[in-house]
Every structure is written in structure tokens, then in C-alpha cells.
Amino acid sequence: MAKDNKNFFKTKNSWSEIKDQLLGCYLTPYFQKVLMTGQPIFYVDCFAGKGKFDDGKDGSPRIALQVRDGCLSRTTLGNGRGQIDTCFIDLNYAQELSVNIADFDNANGRPNVISGKYEDKIEGLLSGKRGVNVFLYIDPYGIRALDSGLFDKFETYGFRTLEMLINFNSFGFFRDTCRVMKVDYQNDEALQDLDDLVEYEPTKVSATKQSEDLLTRIAGGDYWKAIVTNYNEGRINGFQAEKRLSAEYKQRLRQRYGYVLDMPIRLKPGQRPKYRMIHVCDHEDGCFLMAQNMQKRKDELFINVQQEGQLSLIDVVPTMTSTAENELVTTDEIKAKLKEHLARFSGDVRITTLLATFVNDYGLLCQFRMIYDILEEMKSCGMIDIERTPAVTITGKQSAFWEETKGKQIVIRRIKP
Ligand SMILES: C[S@@+](CC[C@H](N)C(=O)[O-])C[C@H]1O[C@@H](n2cnc3c(N)ncnc32)[C@H](O)[C@@H]1O
């Protein structure tokens, strides 16, 4: 039974907390990095909500504005060079939102609040932003507004960079595809109790050409039909179908954007993810930063919520870790994949490029720390060289940093296969 949308903002639930943490923790390094370039930023929260939940907790607009103010107050650029324009769109709560973020109308700029539909407003807002760094936070209730044609268009607008963080309700989407193809899913545990977020705004679909076209527009193709057919034939179960659907959805986004990462969000181990947060961008730095952020959030989630204080297999077996998909993977398996990945680069490769392309291809398998250890091991076996610039620290010691920041660079060079 669909829930009343009005209840969404009564109390902030754990699902919303996780989303906002992922967003807030990413925005700090993102704003900082882009501000360093001296180029303007345009941040749009496309489904902004009220700004504040009724229990007093901050919603995504206030979280982003706090980060904006924090970053602008710390930026070392001269006056007037750091610019973050913000815009918040909401169909139902624009007025309340304006009141709830009024305290952010300050020297850093007035947040622009727009009443209306994202799908009607966004093109007008973005059309004059050539050369600007654009970030879109896309957090709808359901999937209806996720028009892939719009995502394709954004890529042609000539932004300096574009990043999107999308809440993709993959289980809700798969259920809708079953409905449209008249495939029975009622007894499938993967699709049971799609409560909370899913039910806040179920897309109304039926076995009609119109609904079929809607799903194809959202998916950016009709690849979903083959997945539902396989599911109906019993070749894959509901969990596998959701995973395949998400994988193909990401692959579709990669037709336009170089880097697509996702993090399935679940609250308990073994539980199916509730939805996926998908990060899309066109440059390696964004992908690298988001991968780091997703890893940190995933580990916090494991410690605080999922494990409920209990030790898991990965705590007692040091050569094993758990992927973002909650699958166990050994160090040897990661090592093999990394070797295979390195072989794709004919010459030297910067560490940020290596890691961003690795997570883009294989997903979030492990912490970057584990990859650094594997690279050290490969170096000691004479398989690769790791060249840092500067090679020595100011105190004359060998440099040991792993992250490329301004003036610091790491090149990985293959010596033998
Ligand atoms: C999941 S809530 C967003 C929550 C928000 N990100 C937060 O953390 O506080 C989705 C919001 O989208 C709004 N909405 C629904 N349809 C919309 C549309 N087509 N365009 C813009 N906003 C829409 C709803 O009013 C609701 O406030």
C-alpha cells in the first residue's frame, strides 16, 4: 500500500540519513577541489524537499549549503574568485524550503528556489552554463522523472565538468518492468515488502504501450525486456535480475559519461539493497573521490548499523574483504584483477587514473589501502615501479604518499608482466 507522501518529512529515516551522508561527505572534497581551479560551480538539488525534516533534522538543501559556506570560508583564493551558485527545485515544498534555508542568504550568495518539476525546469537552468562545473543531486521518490534522454542531453551542454548523484530505485524499477510484461513476481522474496521509499511514489504502470515506452525512456533502451524474459523463464532470480538491470543501466550511462559508480544501500547484512546511489561523472578525479567516499560510508554503515557490534568473517580473516555488493572477495582475487587491469595500459599510468578506471570497471571491491598494499608487493617483486614526484620529502626522506594532490604525482610503470 502506497504511503502518504506527506509523511516523508515527518521524521528523517535511516535511509535518508545514509543518502545525505554520502552527499554531504562528498561535497566537501568536491567543492574544495573545484574551488582550487578558480572556476565557478553550479549546484542543483533537483528534488530538494523541505530543506528540513519536521523532527528538526537537516535535509539535503541545508546540508549542501552548510558545506558551501564551510568550503568558501576556508578557500585560499582571493575575494570573489570562489563562486558556488546553488539552486533548489521542488514541486510541492518550494515555499517551506525558502523559509527553511533563509539563513543561508549571505555573502556566499542567495540560494535560488524554484517551484515546479525538475523535468520542466532543468534544461532552462543549465542552458547558459557552458564552461561551468555542474553538480546535480537527483533524489526523487520514484523513478518516473529519471528520463535518460535528459541525461544524454546534459552531456552536450559544454559544461567544464558534470557530476550527478542519482538515487536509483532499482527494485521498484524491476517490479514495474514485471508489471508491464505481465510477469508474476508476487511470491518473489526479492520483491516483497518494497515499502518506505519505493511506495512513496509508485510509478503507475500497466501492460500498455505507454507504460512500456515510459520504462524504455527511463532505462535508455529496451534491454530490460530480455532481463524480465530471463526472469520469467526461471534462468535468474529476482536478486540477479535487479543486479543485471542496474549493471545495464550503468553501462547505458557509460555511453555518455566516462565514469559510473554505484553503491547499493542496505541496512542489514544479507538484506537486499533498498536502492542504489549512482554517481556519474566525466573525469577521473570525481570518480576517485566518490569511490573513496563510498568506501568510507560503507565501512561506517557496517560498523554502525549492519553488524550491530558483531564480528564478521572479514574481521577474523585478514585476507578477505567484502565488496559494496556485500560479496566476499580475497586479496588474491583482487590482485589478479589489478594485474589484468594494469596490463591494459601500454605505458605509464597515474595512480588516480589507475584507481578510477579500476573501480569503474570492477566496482567497489575493497578499500584503496588494500590496492596500495598490493602495488607495494608488486613493486617488491620487480613487476612495477612506483615513481613519486617529489621523490623525497622536505626532510630528505623517501616520499611515501599515495594520494595525488596539488604538486604531488604518482606514476605506476609496468616492468614485467
Ligand atoms: C525523496 S524527496 C527529497 C528529499 C531531499 N533530498 C532531502 O534529503 O531532504 C523527493 C522530493 O521531490 C519532490 N518532487 C516530486 N516530484 C517532483 C518533480 N517532478 N520535480 C521536482 N520535485 C519533485 C517532492 O515534493 C519531494 O520533496
For residues 136-159, one letter each, b for 16 or more C-beta atoms within 10 angstroms of the residue's C-beta and e for the rest, the string is: bbbbbbbbbbbbbebbeebeeeeb
Query: Ligand 1 pocket, 60 CB below 6 A?
Result: yes
Nearest alpha carbon, ligand 1 atom 12: 47
Residue 132: the pLDDT is 97
From the CA of 46, give the closest atom in ligand 1: 21
392 DSSP 8-state letter: B
State the distance from the centre of ligand 1 to the C-alpha of 237, rounded, in angstroms.
Answer: 32
Could you tell me where in the chain the CATH 3.40.50 domains are found?
A: 5-305
Task: Please indicate whether residue 93, judged by its CB atom, sits closer than 6 Å to ligand 1.
Answer: yes
pLDDT, position 308: 53
Q: CB–CB of 173/218 below 8 Å? A: yes
pLDDT of residue 368: 92
Neighbours of 119 (CB within 10 A): 16
Q: Which ligand 1 atom is the nearest neighbour of the CA of 51?
A: 9
**Cβ of 146 less than 6 Å from ligand 1:** no
Give me ligand 1 centre to Cα 49, in Å. 5
> Are 351 and 315 within 8 A, CB to CB?
no
Domain 5-305, CATH among 1.25.40, 3.90.79, 3.30.450, 3.40.50: 3.40.50
Spatial contact of 180 and 211, defined as CB atoms under 8 Å apart: yes
DSSP secondary structure, 231-280, as one string: HHTTSS-HHHHHHHHHHHHHHHHTTT-SEEEEEEE-SSTTSPPSEEEEEE
Residues of the chain with CATH 1.10.10: 323-414
228 vs 95, 234, 318, CA distance in Å? Answer: 42, 10, 39
**Which residues have C-beta within 8 Å of that of residue 338, sequence separation ≥ 6?**
358, 371, 374, 375
Establish whether residue 163 lines the binding site of ligand 1, counting it when its CB lies within 6 angstroms of any ligand atom: no
Give the domain 323-414 fold: Arc Repressor Mutant, subunit A (1.10.10)
- Contact status, residue 94 vs residue 114, Cβ threshold 8 Å: yes
* Cα–Cα distance, 354 to 18 (Å, whole number): 28
Pocket perturbation via mutation, ligand 1, pick of 17, 47, 118, 218 by most ligand atoms within 8 A of CB: 47
Exposure on the CB side of residue 176, measured as CA atoms within 13 A = 27
> Is residue 100 lining ligand 1, measured as CB closer than 6 Å?
no
94 C-beta closer than 6 A to ligand 1:
no
Question: Which residue do the cell numbers 515527518 mark?
Answer: 10
pLDDT in tens, the chain (417 residues): 455 566 788 888 877 888 899 999 999 999 999 998 899 999 999 999 999 999 999 999 999 999 999 999 987 665 556 899 999 999 999 999 999 999 999 999 999 999 999 999 999 999 999 999 999 999 998 888 999 999 999 999 999 999 999 999 898 899 999 999 999 888 777 776 665 544 455 667 888 999 999 999 999 999 999 999 999 999 999 889 999 999 999 999 999 999 999 998 876 666 677 789 999 999 999 999 999 999 888 767 655 555 555 555 445 556 777 788 778 889 999 999 999 999 999 889 999 999 999 999 999 888 899 999 999 999 999 999 999 999 999 999 999 999 998 899 999 998 866
Query: Does the CB atom of residue 59 touch ligand 1 within 6 A?
Result: yes
The C-alpha cell at 180 is 508491464
Tell me which residue has its CA closest to atom 23 in ligand 1: 91
* Cβ 117 under 6 angstroms from ligand 1: yes
Supply the pLDDT for residue 1: 45
d(CA 104, CA 87) in angstroms, rounded, equals: 12
Residue 315: the pLDDT is 54
Cβ of 85 closer than 6 Å to ligand 1, yes or no, is no
CB of 16 sitting under 6 A from ligand 1: yes
Q: Measured from the CA of 89, which atom of ligand 1 is nearest?
A: 21
Q: What are 368's three cell numbers?
A: 584503496
Q: What is the pTM of this model?
A: 0.92
Is residue 413 classed as helix, strand or coil in its secondary structure? strand
CA of 15 to the centre of ligand 1 (A): 15
